[in-house]
Amino acid sequence: MDFEEILKELRASLSNLVNDQLGEFKNEGQKMVDDFLNDSKEKLKKWTNLLANEALDIEDYEWLLKSQKDLFAINTLYNAGVSKVKLDRFKNKAINTIVNVVAKIIFI
């Protein structure tokens, strides 16, 4: 398993989500995603390895990701006028995107 390749795929998928969901705030959204992935990289790598080695199931993996969703630094977007409801929806979709991308790569 090449975690750097997984990380590259996550960045691309989350960038698409930012473009679809945050429109005019896509620059701020992209920075938020980059910061999240950089801040969570070691944990994501560890959890992804555990998932790949069947030490975690996909539900546990998702639960661990949800524990990290507060790392999405939303203050800039909220202050720019994006509603908290929209930001919460984005965070949930981002977590689902991460789970789906990782599962697709690991379980092929």
91 touches 67 (CB < 8 A): no
66-85 core/surface letters (b: 16 or more CB in 10 A; e: else): eebbeebebeebeeeebeee
Task: Give the pLDDT confidence score for residue 71 in this predicted structure.
Answer: 73
Q: List, in sequence order, every beta strand (DSSP E) within 12-65.
A: none
Length of the chain (residues):
108
pLDDT (tens digit per residue) in 26-85:
888 898 889 889 989 999 999 999 999 999 999 999 999 988 877 777 777 777 778 888
* pLDDT classification of 95: cutoffs 50, 70, 90: very high
